[in-house]
């Protein structure tokens, strides 16, 4: 059971989320605007926050920026509008751990929340703050789906990030197909069964995102993949 704060101004959605997460065994508090959210965060300890970005009084992005100053490790999942790509990137850059696009499926929210809370509780990451994994010009946040190439944020899905983090941790070593699938399957994010060619698709997408960086994901036939930094 986790103590969660739901920040959402749409009453219907707020009550629905609250009911669903309570039913899943969590203790729920709610806030209907940004100021009320900060007030609650100041006075109570939470294990995680579901944060709508479009909020009265203080918008969600501002709430996120302020709470990150005092609660750098608190897991935060943001809710964004369907066309809010820029909001989503801004949210991730401001320190959100994950996001969902409205309208979303309640089961997916629950799965992502649980994955987020599980990651936050991994002892290796402790409470001393994240240690960024780095390879060449690439840095990957080990806890939340964020990465930077030469200081610029790269937009990644949960699975792309998991694959990239694994490759970066093992730079110069072969990562087998089984290694990647084990990481993906331990996480409920982006649910659904994996098609047999899914890994190739994700590798292809990451290669495109790393294009021009001098880095390459090399296919080692029959063994797996290896990240090469392009430096001697």
Residues that bind Ca ion (CB under 5 A): 9, 52, 54
State in angstroms the smallest separation of the CB of 61 from Ca ion.
12
The DSSP output letter for 44 is: S
Q: Which is nearer to Ca ion, 9 or 155 (CB)?
A: 9
State in angstroms the smallest separation of the CB of 84 from Ca ion.
11
Strand 138-140 relative to strand 133-135: parallel, antiparallel, unpaired?
Answer: antiparallel
State in angstroms the smallest separation of the CB of 88 from Ca ion.
14
Question: Is 60 within 8 Å of 34 (Cβ atoms)?
Answer: yes
State in angstroms the smallest separation of the CB of 102 from Ca ion.
9
- Tally the C-alpha atoms within 13 A of residue 154's C-alpha that lie toward its C-beta: 25
Q: Which is nearer to Ca ion, 51 or 163 (CB)?
A: 51
Cα–Cα–Cα angle for 55, 56, 58, nearest 5°? 80
H or E segment and range at residue 64: helix 60-70
Closest CA to 129 of 184, 175, 81, 72: 72
* Residue nearest to Ca ion according to CB distances in the complex: 54
Q: Which is nearer to Ca ion, 78 or 144 (CB)?
A: 78
- Tally the C-alpha atoms within 13 A of residue 140's C-alpha that lie toward its C-beta: 23
Q: Which is nearer to Ca ion, 47 or 52 (CB)?
A: 52
Q: Which is nearer to Ca ion, 31 or 203 (CB)?
A: 31
Question: Is 200 within 8 Å of 194 (Cβ atoms)?
Answer: no
State in angstroms the smallest separation of the CB of 111 from Ca ion.
22
């Amino acid at each position: 059971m986790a103590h969660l704060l739901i920040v959402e101004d749409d009453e219907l959605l707020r009550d629905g989320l609250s009911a669903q997460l309570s039913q899943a065994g969590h203790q729920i508090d709610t806030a209907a605007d940004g100021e009320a959210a900060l007030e609650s965060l100041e006075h109570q300890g939470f294990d995680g926050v579901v944060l709508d970005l479009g909020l009265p009084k203080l918008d969600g992005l501002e709430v996120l920026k302020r709470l990150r100053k005092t609660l750098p490790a608190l897991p935060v999942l943001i809710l964004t509008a369907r066309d809010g790509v820029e909001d989503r990137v801004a949210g991730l850059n401001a320190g959100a751990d994950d996001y969902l696009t409205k309208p979303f499926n309640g089961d997916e929210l629950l799965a992502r929340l649980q994955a987020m809370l599980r990651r936050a509780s991994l002892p290796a990451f402790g409470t001393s703050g994240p240690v960024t994994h780095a390879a060449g010009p690439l840095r990957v946040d080990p806890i939340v789906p964020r990465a930077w190439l030469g200081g610029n944020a790269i937009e990644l899905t949960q699975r792309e990030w998991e694959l990239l983090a694994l490759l970066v941790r093992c730079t110069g070593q072969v990562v087998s197909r089984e290694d990647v699938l084990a990481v993906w399957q331990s996480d409920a994010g982006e649910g659904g069964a994996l098609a047999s060619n899914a890994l190739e698709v994700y590798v292809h997408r990451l290669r495109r995102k790393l294009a021009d960086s001098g880095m390459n994901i090399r296919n080692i036939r029959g063994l797996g993949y290896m990240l090469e930094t392009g430096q001697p």
